[in-house]
């Protein structure tokens, strides 16, 4: 779990004004959103109890009704939805055909699992460009056998 997600789970009111803001946060997975909303709901319940006991002050969390509505929306999402930060896989090719084939295959496999895209970059060693008369342009898509 990322530091971004952990911070939002621990302190949801610090980062979100409403439960709907959590549902719209594309940097969180569906599971992380559930955890943030659970934390937000617990805060709302504790604040409600404190108010009933005559204690006041502190930030008011969103209403439990609003949180429950957002939780229902998140429950309807697929559990394995990948966060956007993992939707583009960068594959760096070195010119070693066997290694490049393995690296490219791994990149395409990761992209197919996450529903993402692959970007390919050729990496040329600093001395190689001077000794070779031809420099290979960046490939659009590798040939994977």
Residue 92 has phi, psi (to 5 degrees) of -105, 120
60: pLDDT strictly greater than 60: yes
d(CA 9, CA 16): 11
- State residue 104's pLDDT score: 85
Say whether both 13 and 69 belong to one domain: yes
| Angle CA 91–3–15, to nearest 5 | 120
- State residue 7's pLDDT score: 92
Boundary of a domain, candidates 44, 75, 106:
75
Domain that holds residue 111: 87-131
d(CA 28, CA 39): 15
d(CA 22, CA 70): 8
Say whether both 65 and 98 belong to one domain: no
- State residue 98's pLDDT score: 87
Both tokens of 95, joined, read 């010119």
44-57 tens-digit pLDDT: 888 878 777 777 66
Domain contains 142: no
Say whether both 99 and 121 belong to one domain: yes
Domain contains 80: no
Q: Any long-range contacts for 101-109 (C-beta under 8 Å, 24+ apart)?
A: 101/142, 101/144, 101/145, 104/142, 104/144, 105/144, 108/144
Number of domains in the chain: 2
For residue 18, what is the enclosing H or E element? none
Which has the minimum average pLDDT: 4-13, 80-89, 92-101, 115-124? 80-89
Task: Tell me if the pTM is above 0.75.
Answer: no
Per residue in 97-108, is it b (16+ CB within 10 Å) or e — as a string?
eeebeebbeebb
- State residue 106's pLDDT score: 86
Cα atoms in the 13 Å half-sphere on the side-chain side of 12 = 26
């Amino acid at each position: 779990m990322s530091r971004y997600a952990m911070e939002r789970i621990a302190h949801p009111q610090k980062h979100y004004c409403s439960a709907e803001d959590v549902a719209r946060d594309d940097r969180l997975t569906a599971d992380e959103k559930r955890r943030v909303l659970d934390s937000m709901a617990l805060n709302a319940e504790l604040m409600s109890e404190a108010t009933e006991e005559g204690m006041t002050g502190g930030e008011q969390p969103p209403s439990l009704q609003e949180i429950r509505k957002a939780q229902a929306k998140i429950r309807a999402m697929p559990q394995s939805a990948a966060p956007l930060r993992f939707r583009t896989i960068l594959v760096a090719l070195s010119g070693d055909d066997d290694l490049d084939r393995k690296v490219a295959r791994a990149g395409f496999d990761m992209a197919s699992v996450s529903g993402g895209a692959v970007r390919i970059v050729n990496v040329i060693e600093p001395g190689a460009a001077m000794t070779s008369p031809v420099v290979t342009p960046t490939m659009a898509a590798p040939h994977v056998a």
